[in-house]
Copies of this chain bind each other. A is one copy, B any other.
Amino acid sequence: MRPVSVVGIGQTPVLKEHSESLRQLGARAVRMALEDANVDDVDALYLANMLGDELQGQKHVAALVADEAGLRGVEALHLRAATASGAAALRVGYLAVASGAADVVVVAGVEKMNAPGVTPVLAKALDAEREVPDGATLVSQNARLMRWYFRAYNPPQDALAPFAVIAHRNASRNPLAMFHKPDLSVADVMDSRLISPPIRLYDCAPISEGAAAVVLAPASQARTFSDRPVNLLASSVATDRFRIEDRDKPLELAAARLSAQRALQQAQLAIEDVNFFEAHDAFTIMTCLLLEAVGFAAPGEGWRLAEGGDISLEGRIPLSTMGGLKARGHPIGATALYQVCEIVLQLTGRAGDNQLPDPRRALMQSVGGAGVTVITHLFGLQNAA
């Protein structure tokens, strides 16, 4: 396999609502990434979008965005893995370049969610036969995990709230983030509305709109496109039993553990080699479980990383450094591409007020459903790889 680099990035602001259509918004991010990489054309577009079928009535979105972006004759495929769809597209872009089938590809994600009926559409990430009829939603499934976590480990009632506080603090210095609330407090989180007990409003990522894209090329050619290419060191997908009640140890997030192990093995790295973690922090409980699954904390101890400041920008393992899904926003199909853009900004010293001191390697995870599909990617500055 050929080593693969990220040689261009493009991200629109994450907003509650964008005025552009799905096609236009996606094409804008694609063109931004092409411009950043200084390329006019690519071999392929791999596009992620989860909700366009119902919310925009669009099922052929990859070809539609390719056309709108002016990419003529290009390969265009649409990737999905529920709420991990963006990372699924990145995975396929990686395979295309690593295999030699393509040289330069663009991977993009777009989502417009500010539409009536978004909640039942999101619930289609669950099993329509065995989960949804019981009233399950993505929120209620995460609420079950959170109840089980508190029952198993008995942490303080506000143990997870600092995850939200730190995410909002990071987002407040990211001009593209949806929220800018630097002073959100643990008390604000604990006073917020109960959505699905014990999950409160500030435990959840928001409904968002946005698009982001990255250009991939062979690492050996990367410097023709970019002064500071970032290598994609590993790419891995794992799944767990679909229903959480079918899992032996649901708090262990077996797919997160497995895909992280596979990715670290591919890159021949240990978890200690990772300097920061762009996590799929759609719910505070998911953040905590991911930290434990990938090995940053022992089981039952993930919440202590937030309490102690280890995950802040100055800490041992900075988390979701530009605000994460929680506060940068979570336009689903685009989310993983925002994560890649942010990782590239950090590794190349362009993260502005949120810049980490000399980060070398980043771990990124995306979660489809309630821990069903977990996709892990590892990145490193080309010199550090």
A interface list, Cβ under 8 A from B:
1, 21, 23, 44, 50, 53-54, 56-60, 62-64, 66-68, 71-82, 88, 91-92, 95-96, 98-101, 121, 124-129, 132, 235-243, 246, 254-255, 258, 368-369, 372-373
Contacts and interface: CB of A to CB of B under 8 A. Distances in A.
Given A53-B54, A60-B369, A98-B101, 20 more contacts: A21-B129, A50-B59, A54-B54, A57-B128, A59-B124, A59-B125, A60-B125, A60-B127, A60-B242, A62-B81, A63-B82, A63-B239, A63-B368, A63-B372, A66-B239, A73-B238, A73-B258, A77-B79, A78-B88, A92-B92
Given A63-B242, A81-B60, A242-B64, A237 B75 contact: yes
A245 to B, nearest CB: 12
Chain A's interface: helix, strand, loop or mixed, by majority?
mixed
A374 to B, nearest CB: 10
A255 B60 CA distance: 15
A100 B1 contact: yes
A80 to B, nearest CB: 4
B237 A44 contact: yes
A128 to B, nearest CB: 4
A79 B81 CA distance: 9
Contacts of A78: 79-81, 88
Given A88-B78, A239-B75, A58 B127 contact: yes
B73 A77 contact: no
A262 to B, nearest CB: 9
Given A50-B59, A59-B80, A77-B81, A1 B99 contact: yes
A58 B239 contact: no
Contacts of A80: 59, 62, 77-80
A71 B95 CA distance: 22
B101 A235 contact: yes
A242 B1 CA distance: 33
Contacts of A88: 77-78
Contacts of A54: 53-54
A21 to B, nearest CB: 6
B82 A59 contact: yes
Most chain B CB inside 10 Å of its own CB: which residue of A63, A82, A101, A125: A63
Given A79-B79, A237-B76, A239-B74, A63 B373 contact: yes
Contacts of A125: 59-60
A81 B101 contact: no
A99 B21 CA distance: 36
A44 B100 CA distance: 20
B21 A101 contact: no
A235 B1 CA distance: 18
